[in-house]
Structure 1
C-alpha cells in the first residue's frame, strides 16, 4: 500500500457491548474510506467472528493501527451522537476493574437504548441557551458555603423536618434534606457546572425534584430513571451529553450520567439497600461515586438521616468531613415490651389521641396486608405454598390465603406434616392494624400507605396514616405524632446490617414529625433506642464499625464470594489466597434458598468467602478477573452451569449472621 493511501486510512478503537468476559477489551477496526460519522463516542455495528455482528461504542479514531493482525471493517454507524463521553468511559473502566467485572456491563447501565425520533429532534434543535437561575426565596439560607468551590468531601447527617417549596401546582411539602441538597446543587450550577444527585427510589426523587425546581428552575432539572418512558429517559440523557449546567437526579444508575464539568456529586441515604446494583458487576452507587469523585475532583456528599457504617469508616480515615445539618427537636420515647408483644403501648396510643386534635399521625408497621404469616392450626408449622415453597399470608380479612412470593391462592392447602387443613394467622399487617385503630378511635379517618396503596403526600387534616417502612407519605407541616411499631420483630431478623438498617428506617420516619412532636419507639430499648433518642446517630455507627473491625466483617474489610464447580473454585482460591492479608472461609456446598427446588447444578456447586483489605483490592480484583477469564475460555455445553463466578463486595453471605 502506498504511503498516501496509508495516511487516508483511519482505524477505530471500539468497546463491544457483550456480556462475555473474554470480550472485555478494546478492539480495533478499519474505517472504510466512504464511511462518515465515525467519531469518539458514537454507536457502531462491528463484526466479531464470521457473520456475527455486535453493537459497540467508539473510543477514539487514529490514522495508525496498533494491531498487527488482520483488521475487519466497521459495518455501519448506528448514530452520530457521541453517547459515550470520555468521563463515562473512564468511570466504567475503573469501576469494572475495581469489581473484577466487564466495562460493557457498566456502560449498559449508563447509556439508555437509542430512540431515533428523540435523537433526530435533539440534533435539529442544537445547543440551547440555559435559562437564568430563579431568584432565591427571602428565607433561603446558604447550606455548607464553599463546599463546591473547595471541592470538599462531606458525610452529611440531616436532622430532619419538612418544609414548603413553590411548585407548579402550588405549594408542596418536602423534607428539609431535599431543600438543603437543592441549595448545594444551585451552588454548582452558579459556577457553570453540573450536579448529580442519586437517591434510592422515586419517593425521594419526587421530593428532590420539587426542591430543585424551586431552587434552579424546572428547565435545569434532568431526571434519569428506568421508570420513565424510554423516549423521556433518552431525551434527558441527551441533555446531559452537552455542556449545559443542569442538575441530574435519579436512582443508582444516575451516578454514571454524562457530566464533563461535574461540580457536585451527592448520594442520599447511602446505606439504603436499593442503591446496591443487582446486575453484574454489582457495584454499589456509593462505591461508583467515590471512584468518580477521585477522577473528577468534584465536591462529594454522602448524606442521610442516619450515618451508615461505610460513611463512618471514611470519616474516621479522614477522607470525609463530618457535618450535622440543622436541628429537629422531637421527643423520642422508647417503650418496653408490651403485654403480648403486639398491641400498641398505652403511651403510644395516648400520643396518637392527643395529636389527632390538630394534625395527622403516622403509625409505621413492618408488613403490608392483613396477616403477614400463617401457620398450621394443628402442628404449628409455618404455612408454605405447595407450588414454590414461599410463605403464605392473607392480604385482607376476607381474602383467601395466598403465597407472598408467587401469588398463587392456597385454596386446598393441607399441612405436609400433620395433614391438617386449618391455618392460623400470625402477626399483623398494615390493613389489620388500620382496622384495629379504626375501631379504637371511631370517627377518625384511617389511611393505609404500603406497596399496594401508594400515597406520596397528604394535607394537614387529622387522620391516622398506617404505613409500611419506606412508604410513609409527606404530611403538610409534619405529623403530630409518630409511632414506630414492630421494632422487636425487625431486630429479630438475622443479618449483619439489621440494627443499622433499623436505625436508618426509624430515623427516616422520625424526620417526618412536626417540630416538638412525640415519636414513640415501641418494644425497643438499649443502645439501639439510644441511637434514635440522641441528636446524632454517629456514636451508634462508630460502635457498629468497631465491632465489625474486631470480627473482620464489612465494611471494615472487603469480601468476595467465589462460586462454581469444585475444581474451578479450588483453582481460584489458590490464586487469591496467595495475596497478602487475604483469608478464606470455606468452601462449602451451595444450599438452595428457602422454597427453591434443588437442581443438579446446585448440588455440585461450592462457595467460599474471601476477605481482604482495601489496600489489596486492586490486586485481588485483577487475580479474580484472570480466573474468571480462564474458566470462561474452557469449552462448555449450551445450558451448562457456569464454571466460576466471583462477586466482590457481595452482601448476601452476611445477611444470615
Structure 2
C-alpha cells in the first residue's frame, strides 16, 4: 500500500545521540572522553552531568562514569557501544566543575576522574530521590549592609588583604575577626544575587565561619560541604548547590570544587596553611584551584590571611591581584629576648603573665605536643626537648593555684572559660577565650624556625600572628627569644614587606614561588627518561637521590613552561605509570609517580 491509498505514515524514530563520557578510573590511559551511543529508551535521562554505567571492551567489564556532553555524531571509528544504564537523571556534575577538574588535572599531569572523586560526593540514593521529587523554592532575597570588598568581588576583581585582628562576638559566640569579615562580605555578595564559595583550612575555622554566617542575614543560604559531615548531609548540600542561587557554600579544600549557580566570589582563608594541600592525586592546593576557577568563571577572588605569603606577594607584584589596606588596631607585640637566667620565660614576660592572670586567661604557645618530656622528668630519664605537658607542669609550679589547660592534637579545646587560667597550646590548636586572652606568650620561636622547610619563616610568622590575634585588644603579646626580620615583621605587623624581601631572595635562589617544582619517583630508567624529556621542556634538575626501589628527582621550571612540562610528564605516565599487579604475596612493582608543586620537596 502506498501513501495516498489511505495508509498512515509512521514517523521515523529519532536518531540516537552520542554521549561524551569521562570514566571513573585512575589509569592515565583512560583519561579522555569516550563516545557511547544513547539508546532511545535512555534519551530523556541521559543529560550532561548524569552518572552512568558503560561497557568496556575488556572481558565484558562495566565501568562508572559521568556524561559531560552530548553530540549528534561521533568521530570515533567503528560502531559505538551503547550506554549500559543511566544510574540517575540527576545532573550532579555541573559543567563548570567538569571544566575545572579537567584544567586542574592537566596542570598537574593528573587524571580528571581523581579530581572528580574529590569534587562530587558519593551518591546517596535516598537523598537524591527526595531531592529530585522536591519542589524547587527559590531562596528569600538577602538584605545586607553595603560592603566595599563585596562590591569589588562582584565586579570580578582579585583582592589580597588581612582581616580584623581581634575576636568578635556574634550570636553569643566569640569568633575570629576574620570570620566576621567573611560573613559580612558573603552576605553582601549574596544580596547582589550571587553565590559565594569559602574554603578554610580546618574544622575549627569552619565552625567559626558557620557561627558568624548563621548570626547574619545570609543564615538561610549557608551550605556546608566538608567531609566531616555525614555523607547524606554532604550530598544534600551538594545537590542544593546545583539549584539556582544565591548560596553561601563553605567547607575545607574540596569546597572550591562545589557547584555554584551565578558564582560571584571565591574566598580562601589562610591560603598558605598546610591543610590546604590536597593529599590525594593530583595534589592540587586550594589556592591554585581557586586561581584556575576564578579565571574560568570571572568571579571575584578574595585571598584573606593573617599574614601575607610570598606566593600572594608575587601575584600582587605581577599586578594580577590587588593589595588592600589591612584594618588598624593590631595587637601590641613585644620582642622579649632571653634574659640569661636559664629559664624558658624571661622575667619581663613572667611579670606580664602575673599581671594578666589577675584579669583573665593567658595563652602560652609552644612547639611540641604531648607529654613525653614530662614523663621522662618524672621517671628520672635523660631530658628530651620540652613539650606541652612539661610546659604545663612547670607553669603550674610557677603559678600555684592557677588552673592549667593543655590544648594540642590529643587535647582538643575550641574555647576556654573566662577567668584566670593558663592555656598551653601547640600552634593551630589554640582555643578562643571570651573577649580574648589577657596576655599571649609565644615560646619556642627559635626552635620552630629550625624546622626543615622552604617555607619555615613564613609559616612561623603566620602561626605567631594567628595566636596573637586571639589576644584582647589591649593585651600584650610577647615573642620570646626571636630576633631578625621575621620578628620585626610580627612586631610591626608588616608581613607584606617581609614577603617582598622573601620574594627577592627566592628569585635569586630560583626557589618557589618564583619557579615551579615537580618531583618524579619510580624506577631508575623511567625517572631518567622523564628527566631527559623535562630538560627539553625547560626544566632543570634540582636534586636527585636513590630510594628503596628506585630513585626520586626534583626539577624546577618557570611558570610559563608549566603546560609543556605537564604534557611531558603525562606522556611518561602513560608509558610507565601503571603496571600489572602480581599475585600476593609478591609486592607490586615500582611505578612512576609524578607530583607537581610539592610543598616540601627536599
For the Cα contact (< 8 Å) 2:150–2:186, is it kept in 1?
Answer: no
Cα distance in 2 for partners of 1:340, 1:262 equals 58
Count residues in correspondence.
588
The question of 1:589 aligning with 2:546 is answered yes
Could you say which residue in structure 2 is the equivalent of 1:621?
A: 566
Could you say which residue in structure 1 is the equivalent of 2:54?
A: 46
Could you say which residue in structure 1 is the equivalent of 2:553?
A: 608
Could you say which residue in structure 2 is the equivalent of 1:223?
A: 224
For the Cα contact (< 8 Å) 1:562–1:647, is it kept in 2?
Answer: yes
Could you say which residue in structure 2 is the equivalent of 1:641?
A: 589
Q: How far did residue 341 of structure 1 move?
A: 6.1
For the Cα contact (< 8 Å) 1:370–1:432, is it kept in 2?
Answer: yes
Over 3 Å counting, the alpha-carbon distance change for 1:441 and 1:271 in structure 2 is same
Deviations 1:275-303 (A, max 9, x none): 01111001011000000000001110111
Cα distance in 2 for partners of 1:369, 1:152 equals 44
Cα distance in 2 for partners of 1:433, 1:324 equals 38
Cα distance in 2 for partners of 1:205, 1:219 equals 17
Aligned with residue 111 of structure 2, among 96, 102, 107: 102
For the Cα contact (< 8 Å) 1:371–1:425, is it kept in 2?
Answer: no
For the Cα contact (< 8 Å) 2:365–2:441, is it kept in 1?
Answer: yes
For the Cα contact (< 8 Å) 1:488–1:523, is it kept in 2?
Answer: yes
Deviates more, 1:335-344 or 1:467-476: 335-344
Could you say which residue in structure 1 is the equivalent of 2:72?
A: 63
Q: How far did residue 435 of structure 1 move?
A: 2.0
Say which SS state the counterpart of residue 650 (structure 1) adopts: coil
Cα distance in 2 for partners of 1:483, 1:553 equals 33
For the Cα contact (< 8 Å) 1:371–1:427, is it kept in 2?
Answer: no
The question of 1:235 aligning with 2:225 is answered no
Say which SS state the counterpart of residue 325 (structure 2) adopts: strand
Over 3 Å counting, the alpha-carbon distance change for 1:462 and 1:20 in structure 2 is same
Cα distance in 2 for partners of 1:369, 1:623 equals 45
Q: TM-score, normalized by length of structure 2?
A: 0.93
Cα distance in 1 for partners of 2:21, 2:55 equals 11
Alignment map for 1:149-548 (pairs within 5 Å): 149-166=154-171, 171-339=172-340, 343-371=344-372, 423-548=381-506
Say which SS state the counterpart of residue 383 (structure 2) adopts: strand
For the Cα contact (< 8 Å) 1:148–1:184, is it kept in 2?
Answer: no
Deviations 1:593-637 (A, max 9, x none): xxxxxxxxx2x4112211100111111111111111122477675
For the Cα contact (< 8 Å) 1:333–1:533, is it kept in 2?
Answer: yes
The question of 1:76 aligning with 2:21 is answered no
Cα distance in 2 for partners of 1:447, 1:239 equals 41
Alignment map for 1:16-55 (pairs within 5 Å): 16-35=23-42, 36-48=44-56, 49-55=58-64
Say which SS state the counterpart of residue 459 (structure 2) adopts: helix
Q: How far did residue 586 of structure 1 move?
A: 4.4
Q: How far did residue 467 of structure 1 move?
A: 1.1
For the Cα contact (< 8 Å) 2:19–2:71, is it kept in 1?
Answer: yes
Cα distance in 2 for partners of 1:7, 1:143 equals 54
Cα distance in 1 for partners of 2:449, 2:579 equals 46
Alignment map for 1:71-150 (pairs within 5 Å): 71-133=80-142, 142-144=147-149, 146-150=151-155
Over 3 Å counting, the alpha-carbon distance change for 1:210 and 1:635 in structure 2 is closer
Q: How far did residue 39 of structure 1 move?
A: 0.9
Cα distance in 2 for partners of 1:201, 1:471 equals 11
Over 3 Å counting, the alpha-carbon distance change for 1:565 and 1:182 in structure 2 is same
Deviations 1:461-481 (A, max 9, x none): 222111111011111111110
For the Cα contact (< 8 Å) 1:487–1:523, is it kept in 2?
Answer: yes
Cα distance in 2 for partners of 1:396, 1:324 equals 49
For the Cα contact (< 8 Å) 1:143–1:180, is it kept in 2?
Answer: no
Say which SS state the counterpart of residue 464 (structure 2) adopts: helix
Deviates more, 1:102-111 or 1:143-152: 143-152
Q: How far did residue 134 of structure 1 move?
A: 5.8
Cα distance in 1 for partners of 2:454, 2:21 equals 42
Could you say which residue in structure 2 is the equivalent of 1:11?
A: 18
Aligned with residue 565 of structure 1, among 516, 523, 526: 523
Cα distance in 2 for partners of 1:7, 1:620 equals 46
Say which SS state the counterpart of residue 438 (structure 1) adopts: helix
Give the RMSD, CA atoms, in angstroms: 2.1
Q: Which runs of 5+ in 2 are unaligned?
A: 1-10
Deviations 1:305-363 (A, max 9, x none): 10111101101101011113311242211122354765222111111110111121111
Cα distance in 2 for partners of 1:135, 1:191 equals 9
For the Cα contact (< 8 Å) 2:190–2:218, is it kept in 1?
Answer: no
Q: How far did residue 148 of structure 1 move?
A: 2.3
Cα distance in 1 for partners of 2:519, 2:98 equals 27
For the Cα contact (< 8 Å) 1:310–1:555, is it kept in 2?
Answer: yes
Q: Which runs of 5+ in 1 are unaligned?
A: 373-393, 401-421, 591-601
Say which SS state the counterpart of residue 243 (structure 1) adopts: coil
Deviates more, 1:18-27 or 1:448-457: 448-457
For the Cα contact (< 8 Å) 2:245–2:260, is it kept in 1?
Answer: no
Deviates more, 1:429-438 or 1:622-631: 429-438
For the Cα contact (< 8 Å) 1:22–1:633, is it kept in 2?
Answer: no
Deviations 1:499-523 (A, max 9, x none): 1100010010011111121100111
For the Cα contact (< 8 Å) 1:589–1:605, is it kept in 2?
Answer: yes
Q: How far did residue 459 of structure 1 move?
A: 3.6
For the Cα contact (< 8 Å) 1:99–1:621, is it kept in 2?
Answer: yes
Cα distance in 2 for partners of 1:513, 1:586 equals 43
For the Cα contact (< 8 Å) 2:153–2:302, is it kept in 1?
Answer: no
Could you say which residue in structure 1 is the equivalent of 2:8?
A: none
Cα distance in 2 for partners of 1:232, 1:134 equals 27
Say which SS state the counterpart of residue 174 (structure 2) adopts: strand
Q: How far did residue 62 of structure 1 move?
A: 2.4
Q: How far did residue 365 of structure 1 move?
A: 1.0
Could you say which residue in structure 2 is the equivalent of 1:387?
A: none
